[in-house]
């Protein structure tokens, strides 16, 4: 019999719409203004801290909606943004500098929806508010690090080749090697020129000494700068993802700058700490021959440096750096056999080879792990750029027991929370060079809310106009199309809430509005085809059947070409263009389902199999 669906098709339609509604439902509950409290440098957030924060708010008469401690973070929800802003200052003052207090927006999704993995749709910077940073990579520091590495490599190479030198020092953007004999200098030049083809060597004699100066070629300089920029982009993206910032935008701008957008972040200080933390590790040998007492008075051996450990005790380390954190590919926290916190390190292939070659020749000697952090200061250079302070601390000194490879561990860490924090920073990566923020913009939640309301208003007005037109022009069939239209919107929002990488932006709302028009367009094609068949004298059931069958190919052609265009937009576009493309692709699939399968199911249920002489269309 014509126009009858089997039971499984009705169940499929009900299942799709029900699941979509469940995952779209969290968007109805909104978000609460909140404070997020976490420990600085791995400080533990305990129930006592929760009590202390609550007491400070109660004494000020601030009504708290809820406060919970989970995953070493404290989340305090407020009833309005005024209480949230007042509460931030009070909690930050009560807890001190050991804790980071950040403004946030927390979804108020019911627990039963969270249990099935449902959550609100992620909103972009233009809708939710957040922060926008334009960051500049300190290329001078990147070049200085390469220069320091050149000096260390030259010293190692000359020692291995048994070429006696008076000194190797950084100078004029390169490295100057000083020899007592011109013959030795010539031997060094012959060896190093073949080993380092991307360096430019020149003779530089001074008095009785024969000098050899090495500087990077123009091509090498470009490669170093490009590597510093690309690596910093990757590391910032990894770091933001590790710390839970939803849907960030991180992309390059020009030769030295990076654009970062963090939707939902209201506290710029917290965002700066996430992005600007330049932390890495260095592994060096302890200078056992040095007099520590003399070093503290300023008499440090020429090839060594004075450091302090976590207890403030002086430690003299060799200047030569065995390995840096840029070779770390993974880091995880754990416990050793004595239940003490440790960090497990995994190196890349070059780093593992270097560590293995070094440790096999230094078994029994103490090696130190140095934690290096670059912090911005209030001082500025002549060009106006901010200066950075280099803080270094010895977190571990251990005797090399055997040859190390690509995996080893660091012990001597104070707490498990600190081990987790260190592992996170190392896993996210160490910035190749410090960065400074040259432009900062904050989009407040009020502006974001205004954008949301304007976008929703446009979508509602557009839907009302379409709904009225369809109901008046196509009568009962128009009502069927309107039901499918509402189901289409529910499916789009539900699917976008389920997809991990989907973010709703203003262009995304435009994509939904466009999809609504396309969905109605498909129904118009079907209904007009049914009208045409009725005018040609077909029976009602036959007209409905032929209308859907003949219109399908036209609808499919139009949607497939649009879908291909959306794929191209997603492939070559960035930022808002990608958001528009994702919404459009999901909308096309949803509109095809609702316009063809959904309306057909309703039409079959209402009119299918009945003897009818006329149709309300």
**Which pLDDT does position 266 carry in this prediction?**
59
Mean pLDDT of the chain: 82
SS3 402: coil
Q: Which residues 6+ apart lie within 8 Å of 381 measured at CB?
A: 387
Asked whether the CA dihedral 453, 454, 459, 463 is positive or negative, the reply is: positive
SS3 440: strand
Q: What is the mean pLDDT of residues 227-248?
A: 70
Q: What is the mean pLDDT of residues 395-422?
A: 77
**Cβ atoms < 10 Å from Cβ of 447:** 13
Instruction: Encode pLDDT of 461-508 as tens digits.
Output: 888 888 898 889 888 888 988 998 889 889 988 988 887 666 777 788
H or E segment to which residue 264 belongs: none
CA dihedral defined by 401, 403, 404, 408, rounded to 10 degrees?
A: -30
Listed range (73-82, 103-112, 231-240) with the worst mean pLDDT: 231-240
H or E segment to which residue 178 belongs: strand 174-179
d(CA 106, CA 193): 59
For 223, what's the count of Cα atoms within 13 Å in the CB-facing half-sphere? 8
Go through 400-409 and write b for each residue having 16 or more CB atoms within 10 A of its CB, e for each that does not: beeebebebe
Instruction: Encode pLDDT of 67-89 as tens digits.
Output: 888 777 788 899 888 888 888 88
| 358 neighbors 464 (Cβ within 8 angstroms) | no
SS3 427: helix
d(CA 403, CA 354): 11
**Which pLDDT does position 12 carry in this prediction?**
92
Listed range (178-192, 209-223, 444-458) with the worst mean pLDDT: 444-458
Instruction: Encode pLDDT of 248-283 as tens digits.
Output: 678 888 888 888 887 766 556 666 666 666 566 788
Q: What is the mean pLDDT of residues 149-158?
A: 84
Q: Is 544 left (phi over 0), alpha (psi -120 to 50) or beta?
A: alpha
For 107, phi then psi, to 5°, come to -60, 140
H or E segment to which residue 200 belongs: strand 199-203
**How large a percentage of the chain has pLDDT more than 90?**
7
**Which pLDDT does position 150 carry in this prediction?**
86
Q: Which of 138-142, 416-420, 447-451, 594-598 has the highest mean pLDDT?
A: 594-598
* Confidence band of 413 (pLDDT split at 50, 70, 90): confident
Q: Is 213 left (phi over 0), alpha (psi -120 to 50) or beta?
A: beta
Q: What is the mean pLDDT of residues 210-235?
A: 86
Q: How far is CA 157 from CA 6, 177, 195, 208, in A?
A: 79, 12, 10, 23
SS3 24: helix
H or E segment to which residue 319 belongs: none
**Which pLDDT does position 17 carry in this prediction?**
92
Domains of the chain in start order, with CATH, are: 7-26+444-607 (1.20.1640.10), 31-107 (3.30.70.260), 141-218 (3.30.1370), 277-441 (3.30.1360.200)
Q: Which residues 6+ apart lie within 8 Å of 439 measured at CB?
A: 132, 133, 134
Q: What is the mean pLDDT of residues 592-601?
A: 88
Listed range (120-124, 137-141, 489-493) with the worst mean pLDDT: 120-124
d(CA 179, CA 205): 9
**How large a percentage of the chain has pLDDT more than 70?**
87
End-to-end CA distance of the chain: 22
| 346 neighbors 407 (Cβ within 8 angstroms) | yes
**Which pLDDT does position 316 carry in this prediction?**
92
Q: Tell me, yes or no, if the pTM score tops 0.75.
A: no
**Which pLDDT does position 107 carry in this prediction?**
83
Q: 598 or 447, which is more confident?
A: 598
d(CA 477, CA 483): 10
């Amino acid at each position: 019999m014509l126009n009858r669906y089997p039971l499984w098709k009705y169940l499929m339609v009900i299942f799709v719409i029900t699941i979509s509604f469940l995952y779209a439902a969290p968007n109805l509950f909104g978000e609460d203004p909140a404070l997020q409290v976490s420990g600085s440098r791995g400080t533990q957030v305990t129930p006592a801290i929760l009590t202390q924060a609550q007491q400070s708010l109660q004494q000020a008469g601030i009504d708290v909606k809820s406060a919970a401690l989970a995953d070493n973070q404290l989340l305090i929800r407020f009833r309005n943004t005024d209480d949230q802003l007042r509460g931030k200052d009070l909690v930050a003052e009560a807890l001190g500098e050991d804790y980071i207090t950040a403004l946030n927006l927390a979804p108020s999704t019911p627990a039963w929806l969270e249990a099935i993995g449902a959550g609100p749709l992620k909103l972009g910077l233009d809708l939710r508010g957040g922060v926008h940073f334009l960051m500049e990579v300190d290329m001078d520091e990147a070049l200085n690090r390469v220069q320091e590495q050149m000096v260390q490599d030259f010293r190692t190479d000359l020692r291995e080749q048994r070429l006696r030198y008076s000194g190797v020092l950084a100078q004029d953007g390169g490295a100057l090697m000083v020899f007592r004999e011109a013959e030795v200098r010539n031997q060094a030049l012959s060896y190093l020129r073949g080993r380092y083809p991307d360096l430019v060597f020149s003779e530089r004699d001074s008095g009785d000494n024969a000098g050899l100066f090495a500087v990077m070629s123009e091509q090498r300089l470009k490669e170093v700068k490009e590597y510093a920029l690309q690596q910093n982009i990757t590391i910032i993206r990894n770091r933001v993802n590790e710390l839970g910032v939803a849907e960030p935008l991180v992309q390059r701008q020009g030769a030295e700058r990076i654009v970062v957008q963090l939707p939902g972040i209201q506290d710029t200080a917290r965002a700066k700490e996430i992005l600007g933390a330049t932390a890495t590790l260095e592994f060096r040998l302890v200078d056992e021959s040095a007099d520590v007492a003399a070093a503290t008075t300023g008499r440090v051996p020429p090839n060594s440096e004075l450091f302090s450990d976590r207890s403030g005790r002086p430690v003299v380390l060799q200047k030569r750096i065995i390995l840096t954190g840029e070779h770390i590919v993974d880091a995880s926290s754990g416990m050793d056999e004595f239940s003490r916190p440790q960090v497990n390190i995994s190196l890349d292939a070059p780093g593992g080879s270097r560590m293995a070659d070094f440790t096999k020749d230094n078994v029994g000697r103490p090696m130190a792990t140095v934690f290096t952090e670059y912090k911005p200061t209030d001082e500025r250079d002549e060009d106006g750029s901010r200066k950075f302070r280099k803080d270094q601390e010895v977190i571990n000194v251990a005797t090399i027991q055997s040859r190390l490879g690509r995996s080893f561990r660091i012990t001597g860490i104070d707490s498990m929370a600190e081990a987790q924090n260190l592992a996170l920073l190392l896993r996210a990566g160490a910035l190749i060079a410090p960065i400074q923020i040259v432009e900062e913009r904050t989009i407040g939640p009020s502006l974001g809310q205004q954008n949301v309301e304007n976008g929703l208003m446009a979508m509602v007005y557009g839907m009302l106009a379409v709904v009225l037109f369809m109901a008046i022009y196509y009568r009962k069939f128009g009502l069927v199309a309107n039901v499918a239209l509402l189901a289409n919107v529910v499916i789009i929002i539900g699917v976008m809430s389920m997809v991990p990488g989907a973010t709703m932006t203003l262009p995304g709302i435009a994509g939904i509005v466009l999809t609504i028009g396309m969905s109605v367009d498909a129904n118009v094609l079907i209904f007009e085809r049914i009208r045409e068949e009725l005018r040609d004298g077909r029976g009602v059931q036959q007209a409905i059947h032929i209308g859907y069958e003949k219109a399908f190919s036209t609808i499919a052609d139009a949607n497939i070409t649009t879908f291909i265009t959306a794929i191209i937009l997603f492939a070559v576009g960035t930022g808002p263009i990608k958001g528009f493309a994702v919404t459009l692709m999901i909308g096309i699939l949803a509109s095809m389902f609702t316009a063809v399968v959904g309306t057909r199911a309703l039409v079959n249920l209402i009119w299918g199999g009945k003897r009818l002489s006329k149709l309300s269309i």
